[in-house]
A and B are shown apart, each in its own frame.
Chain A
Amino acid sequence: MADPVASSAEHANASLAAIFAMRLRASGATPAEVVTITVLTALVLWLVLYPVGWLLWGAFHKGPPGAAEAWTLENFTEVFLDPNHWILVWRSIVVGVGVTALATAIGAPLAWLTVKTDLPGKRWVELSAIVPFFTSTFIGALAWIQLGNPTNGVLKFWFGIPTNVYSVTGIIWVTGLYMAPYMYLFTAAALRNMDTTYEEASFMSGAGLWRTLTRITYPLILPALLSGMTLVFVISMGIFGVAAILGFPAKLHLLATEIYVRSLLVPPRFGVATVSALTLMVITAALIMLQRWALRAGSYALVSGRGFRIKLYALGKWKRLAQAWCFLYALLAVILPAFVLIKVSLQPYPTPRFGPWTLENWTVFFSNDNLLGTLLRSLYLSTGGATLCVLLTAMIAHIIHRSRAPGRRLLEQVSVMPIGIPGIVMGLAMIWAYVTLPVWGTLWVVILAYMTLFMPYGVRALGANIVQIHPELEESSRVHGGSWFRTFRLIMLPLLRPGIYSTWILLFIIFIREISAAVLLTTTGTRLFPVLIFEQWTAGEFNVMSAGALLLTIIMFAVIALFKWGFKVDVIPSYR
């Protein structure tokens, strides 16, 4: 009988291909599985590396995409010798750090209060911590311009509070406010999954609340906190919408907006923009690697497997203060912005006063073909793109968590790589990669860019759902006569349905509100709604575009409501 140890020794000198073939056979993967993995890995590699490769190529070339001339290092020397560039790098890092700190300072305590204490009205707190996640930083910035601009902001006019959102502080403030939900979600998930007996054991050992929080709770949720903070930092470093509408009036640029401006100069300076984009991507990639390194020991298994109750701390006399903190956040992130957007959308010109009133800003949407057409185009794109992305990521997540075939690790690593690519960088990379191809100028380029950028979200969210499904449910089907495909169709898909729905909504919302990646990619025929809002806003159409921002928000919430009450789907995104 063949001895596996002896036979592997025989093969020690065999070629790599033979070793791979042997591992493949040993893993028990079916040919169909191997083909699927190979095709998916190739597709994902192409989605990610093709544009990034072109971006690198572009950095070393003179001339615009599609008409690049000779190899050159001029782009690098021009950018790196420009002191202004390093100011932008520094400012972008300041914004990233500031936003991360603010979002953590808001989100983490909110999560602790809702998960671990007897805070009254938790449903409302949770709602106000989630809603800003769905509205997006860009719409938040539009509202905060009305609230906090230095000349006729509502806060200054009515309350005498001197605020200036057209500043680095303003950019950090608005972005941090709307990134706090990310920190809330990451922290709340970690706290919910943590076995309460870890903390109880600390109390039994004589430690007080403060000691338990700092020595037990904090280290246990630290991996989740770091993952959340890295994500927030990477997103805020590359954020375009807020940085543009708050920065441009003050001639304040960040790396992300600089890429945009240089690309749109006449004549455009693509080489220089590309080097800026690379700088940005190097910083975000370095940070992600730093986080991986910090977590190299692996995150803790917080779940003990047994069912456990979460013990709630009594807030006692601190209850009022905690409630006030939660209300303050709801006020600043949801109530005031919503109020001011509604107000402005009903007025003929920007003013902090009440009145005069008009409905014209709203009616224009249903009479102007350009506006309506752009809105519909955004809806098509988000519906189709989210569907394609869910299909792709469902297959990837299923393979990552269920297959034992070699190559699945590579697929996993590549599929989460786009986390480190800022949207505007992806937009520029797509120009380099596709400008000479026939798909250029169609929505397909945008869909490809979005699918690539947001693939990690789908893989993570669906993966979290797949690991909840016991492998024996699938094995049981196989043993009782069901083929692989029958099992996927009749067992896996129905069981995964809630996860598929909630991931679809997540992607739909992200797609419909995305602006960073779209702003360089869309032209007259493919203009998307958030880009239109941005362009019209900078052209001075404050009131009509306030209505537009509200319309976009209403659509997002209508879709969420449809899924929540129509399909009974939990729409709060899940993170691993």
Chain B
Amino acid sequence: MGLQGGRDTVLPVREGELSSLTVAGLSKAFGDARAVADLDLKVGEGEMLVLVGPSGCGKTTTLRCIAGLERPTAGRITIGNRVVTEIDQGVFVPPEKREIGMVFQSYAVWPHMTVYDNVAYPLKAIGVLRGEIHDRVMKTLRLVQLETLADRYSSQISGGQQQRVALARSLVAEPKLLLFDEPLSNLDANLRLQMRVEIKELQKRLGFTSVYVTHDQTEAMAIADRIAVMDRGMVRQVGSPRAIYDRPANTFVAGFMGTTNLLEGSVQEVTDAEAVVRTSGGITLRAIGARGAARGATVHVSIRPEALQLCPLEKPAAAANVWPATVALSTFLGDSVLYRLEVAGHTFEVHGPSTEVFEVGSKVTLAVEPSRCTLLIE
């Protein structure tokens, strides 16, 4: 499928590599609406894959299909070496038999049970011996620093602590796969940053395999080993956070993952690694990622705001792409200054250092390395 081109080009899980979760041809329709359309995913052992995308892109539906909370319309899901869903064969293992853990958006900490009982629940459900339960619950509670709150009820602990209870509960039975459904979206900003680090540390320490759903691209980049960017039920690109950010495969990913300047233009010249593009506004620039681009083709070029350099007009930077520009708007952000610049009919967003501020209306030089201009065919 053309739209999924990025998947094959960027960091695929190689054939034969140990994979803890395989999703193949997953589709889910609600009535006439298709939430997930023929989706493939692989997650390696001990890897954290983040599904990210705008609301309604199908990421939560995908996660719920993996959990067994939704029955897909078509597709095959394998956890470890066990097929848990294969619609063609009529295989559908109910959620409780999938040996997974899940952290929900609402935490779903049962209000009629203590912290201890919440965490002990998965062990009791699978019939772990009584003597063993206590040790494992307390060990897990220590892991999330809740050992002193074991006797509390959910109404007596904070939102962050409830989040940790949910985490401990999902970990306690040492599941093959851990699922996170926007676990941090109900926390306030500071706590969110802190929990993000804690989840990442736990994952590195315990080495669990996990799929993590979020709509927050910053969170996705901070926590992921690999990111799958989803849109309208399809994966648009899979790759490391770095690759996704620096080498977006298409305009959707470039626009969704962080802010970017997208310029439309046509390819003038193609060399091994670079292409020369003439934009609709009439400026010429050199960009990388030219593989597959043909002369005359209409393309987009993505340039991140922080990749652009601003210089005073009188001492132009030594770079391949240099254009004169006018400052249309400048917003002081504390650690940096956000400019809006006019260049030959294009508007650029640029991050500049707060040490040197250009006034609105001043003429400047805008420069960017070709290696930081990404050519996008889609």
Using CB atoms and an 8 Å cutoff, list the residues of chain A in contact with chain B. 1-5, 7, 25-28, 30, 470, 472-473, 475-484, 486, 490-491, 494-495
Let me know if B96 and A481 touch, CB within 8 A.
yes
**Least CB distance, B226 to chain A, in whole angstroms:** 23
Identify A480's interface contact among B88, B105, B111, B170, CB under 8 A: B170
Most buried by B among A7, A28, A481: A481
A4-B29, A479-B102 given as contacts; is B74 within 8 A of A473 (CB)? no
List which B65-111 residues lie within 8 A (CB) of chain A: 67-71, 73-75, 87-88, 92, 94-96, 98, 100-102, 104-106, 108, 110-111
Q: Tell me the nearest residue of chain A to B92, going by C-beta.
A: A28
Contacts of B29 in A (CB 8 A): 4-5, 26
Interface 1/0 per residue, B99-135 and A, CB below 8 Å: 0111011101011100000000110011000000000
**Least CB distance, B39 to chain A, in whole angstroms:** 10
Identify B121's interface contact among A27, A30, A472, A477, CB under 8 A: A477
Contacts of A7 in B (CB 8 A): 74
**Least CB distance, A402 to chain B, in whole angstroms:** 12
Contacts of A1 in B (CB 8 A): 24-25, 27, 38, 74-75
A476-B108, A481-B96, A491-B110 given as contacts; is B122 within 8 A of A4 (CB)? no
**Least CB distance, A151 to chain B, in whole angstroms:** 59
**Least CB distance, A216 to chain B, in whole angstroms:** 30
Measured in the bound complex, the distance between the Cα atoms of B110 and A477 in whole Å is: 9
A1-B74, A4-B34, A495-B112 given as contacts; is B102 within 8 A of A480 (CB)? yes
Let me know if B73 and A26 touch, CB within 8 A.
yes
Contacts of B110 in A (CB 8 A): 473, 476-477, 491, 495
Contacts of A25 in B (CB 8 A): 71
**Least CB distance, A8 to chain B, in whole angstroms:** 9
Contacts of A475 in B (CB 8 A): 67, 69, 95, 102, 104, 108
**Least CB distance, A514 to chain B, in whole angstroms:** 34
B286 within 8 A of A: no
Measured in the bound complex, the distance between the Cα atoms of B92 and A26 in whole Å is: 11
Count A-B contacts at CB 8 Å. Answer: 100
Let me know if A479 and B101 touch, CB within 8 A.
yes
A2-B74, A3-B27 given as contacts; is B96 within 8 A of A479 (CB)? yes
In addition to A26-B29, A27-B71, A480-B125, 9 A-B residue pairs with Cβ atoms within 8 Å of each other are A3-B27, A4-B73, A28-B70, A473-B108, A475-B67, A475-B69, A479-B95, A481-B126, A486-B125
**Least CB distance, B27 to chain A, in whole angstroms:** 6
Contacts of A481 in B (CB 8 A): 96, 121-122, 125-126, 173
Measured in the bound complex, the distance between the Cα atoms of B46 and A367 in whole Å is: 79
**Least CB distance, A33 to chain B, in whole angstroms:** 11
A470-B106, A480-B102, A482-B96 given as contacts; is B74 within 8 A of A3 (CB)? yes
B278 within 8 A of A: no
B340 within 8 A of A: no
**Least CB distance, A63 to chain B, in whole angstroms:** 52
**Least CB distance, A22 to chain B, in whole angstroms:** 10
Contacts of B300 in A (CB 8 A): none
Measured in the bound complex, the distance between the Cα atoms of B87 and A3 in whole Å is: 12
